[in-house]
Amino acid sequence: MQTIVIYKSKYGSTKAYAEKIAEALGCQAVDAKSIKAKELESYDTIIYGGGLYAEIIGGVSLITKNFDMLSGKKLAVFTTGLTPTDCREYYDGMVVSKNFKPHMLEKVRIFNFPGKMIINELSAVHRAAIKTLKKIMSSKENPTEMEALLIKLCDADGDFTDFDAINELIDYVAE
Ligand SMILES: Cc1cc2nc3c(=O)[nH]c(=O)nc-3n(C[C@H](O)[C@H](O)[C@H](O)COP(=O)(O)O)c2cc1C
């Protein structure tokens, strides 16, 4: 059984999870930059991880654009992000609809892990994006629950990584 973990990570949070998962499964964790879709053909189980940026799972098109070629394999995708993972409206609604086509959901299992955001480590562009988002959301007179949560998340500054969260994914791969 050939298994691979692939990740795209800007600030290291997704990479850290990918390495833990690979260690637990006894396989390699590979940066998405250094793998071509064609190379995935030789694996039976593919685990892809990406950080969430404006609801998009970084680099997940490696999986979704090659879905037909990969659909006979065991597929898992994990996200890292700041939105609390019990906010299922966000993950099962917005994140799923922005990243996957409905037919893909029968073939891929999706997991959501808590990520990290250290404001001082962000690029100038990302820092500005967070500031702008907060300003726009805060200017709304009657923010929805989701908008209120977003405003709060713009002030998040810390590492919320929880490696215990990977256990469910490990169990799924072992099934
Ligand atoms: C510009 C920007 C946009 C982000 N958008 C989201 C988002 O839509 N949802 C979310 O849960 N987290 C969001 N985050 C938080 C990141 O997903 C989180 O920091 C993640 O752990 C980053 O992964 P990485 O360290 O592997 O790049 C955002 C962070 C930045 C800087």
Question: Quick one: 141 and 81 in the same domain?
Answer: no
Question: Quick one: 18 and 81 in the same domain?
Answer: yes
pTM of the predicted model, to two decimals?
A: 0.96
Question: Quick one: 126 and 95 in the same domain?
Answer: no
Question: Quick one: 44 and 100 in the same domain?
Answer: yes
Segment (H or E) for 92: none
Owning domain of residue 140? 119-156
What CA–CA distance (Å, rounded) separates 23 from 17? Answer: 10
Question: Quick one: 51 and 88 in the same domain?
Answer: yes
Residue 12 per-residue DSSP state: S
Determine if ligand 1 sits within 6 Å of the CB of residue 17. Answer: no
**Selection from 108, 112, 10 nearest residue 53 by Cα:** 10
CA of 82 to the centre of ligand 1 (A): 6
Read off the pLDDT of residues 72-100 as tens digits, 9 standing for 90 and up: 999 999 999 999 999 999 999 999 999 99
Question: Quick one: 68 and 22 in the same domain?
Answer: yes
Question: Quick one: 92 and 123 in the same domain?
Answer: no
CATH number (domain holding residue 36):
3.40.50.360
Task: Produce one character per residue of 111-144: b if its CB has 16 or more CB atoms within 10 Å, e if not.
Answer: bbbbbbbeeeebeeeeeeebeeebeebeeeeeee
pLDDT at 15: 98
**In three state form, how does the secondary structure of 102-139 look?**
HHHHHCEEEEEEECEECHHHCCHHHHHHHHHHHHHHHC
- The residue-averaged pLDDT of 147-166 equals 95
What CA–CA distance (Å, rounded) separates 100 from 23? Answer: 28
Read off the pLDDT of residues 118-128 as tens digits, 9 standing for 90 and up: 999 999 999 99
CA of 115 to the centre of ligand 1 (A): 7
Residue 54 per-residue DSSP state: T
Mutate to test the pocket of ligand 1, among 82, 91, 147 (most ligand atoms within 8 A of CB): 82
Rg (alpha carbons) of the chain, rounded to whole number:
17
- The residue-averaged pLDDT of 130-155 equals 92
Looking at ligand 1, which residue's alpha carbon is closest to its atom 31?
Answer: 126
- The residue-averaged pLDDT of 60-64 equals 98
Task: Flag whether pLDDT at 24 surpasses 90.
Answer: yes
Task: Flag whether pLDDT at 1 surpasses 80.
Answer: no
Query: Contact at 8 Å (CB) between 131 and 92?
Result: no
Residue with tokens 């997940």: 60
